[in-house]
A and B are shown apart, each in its own frame.
Chain A
Amino acid sequence: NAGVTQTPKFQVLKTGQSMTLQCAQDMNHNSMYWYRQDPGMGLRLIYYSASEGTTDKGEVPNGYNVSRLNKREFSLRLESAAPSQTSVYFCASSEVVVIGGANYGYTFGSGTRLTVV
């Protein structure tokens, strides 16, 4: 059982380049998320997808786009990378009980360490 798989694990981009971070989960979770983690800032939500076919902005969406390709996959795209996007990116998934709104907690991927020079 792989859980949540993120690729790549490391990436160096030049300013202005684009790239897509891939995420796939095999736990049949309905909700998926992209976070970035920066020193002193904690984990901040970029985008999330409550269910297949829906996406919503989180706390820091500027400069990013997402695609919920199917129930398993949720990708994050940087169209024109900037040094401020240097960070560690985590994908996560969770099972959410819609009635009552209970959330059973995230399972995180191993992270992507991105450096923009």
Chain B
Amino acid sequence: QKEVEQNSGPLSVPEGAIASLNCTYSDRGSQSFFWYRQYSGKSPELIMSIYSNGDKEDGRFTAQLNKASQYVSLLIRDSQPSDSATYLCAVNKISGNQFYFGTGTSLTVIP
């Protein structure tokens, strides 16, 4: 079983719509959760972090964490073509400080 699983997509949404990206993780003791955005040919860029159950909002981005279900999601409201990228979910296990990454979900926002 993979540590972190994401639907690879591709996910396509029209401009202005809400994009919903999902991630599940296997270690119930995991304590820190992150979403990274990676444009083609570029390095990953941190866009959201979440540490406790519930929702965390930052501009057009909302991260949601449900530790009981071992589930993390990212919502992008009012999606823009510039949001087209691969989104990586990362989980930090309690036993160490290294992260485990999902393989990423490719998002395309259609103008």
Contacts and interface: CB of A to CB of B under 8 A. Distances in A.
Contacts of B44: 43, 90, 106, 108
Nearest to A98: B97
B49 A104 contact: yes
B62 interface: no
A1 B94 CA distance: 30
Contacts, number: 57
A46 B43 CA distance: 17
Interface in B35-77: 36, 42-46, 49, 51
Interface of A: 31, 33, 35, 40-45, 48, 50, 58, 90, 94, 96, 101-111
Interface of B: 31-32, 34, 36, 42-46, 49, 51, 88, 90, 92, 94, 96-104
27 contacts: A33-B98, A35-B101, A41-B103, A42-B88, A42-B101, A42-B103, A43-B44, A43-B88, A50-B96, A50-B97, A58-B98, A101-B31, A101-B94, A101-B97, A102-B51, A104-B49, A105-B32, A105-B34, A106-B34, A106-B44, A106-B99, A107-B46, A108-B44, A109-B43, A110-B42, A111-B42, A111-B43
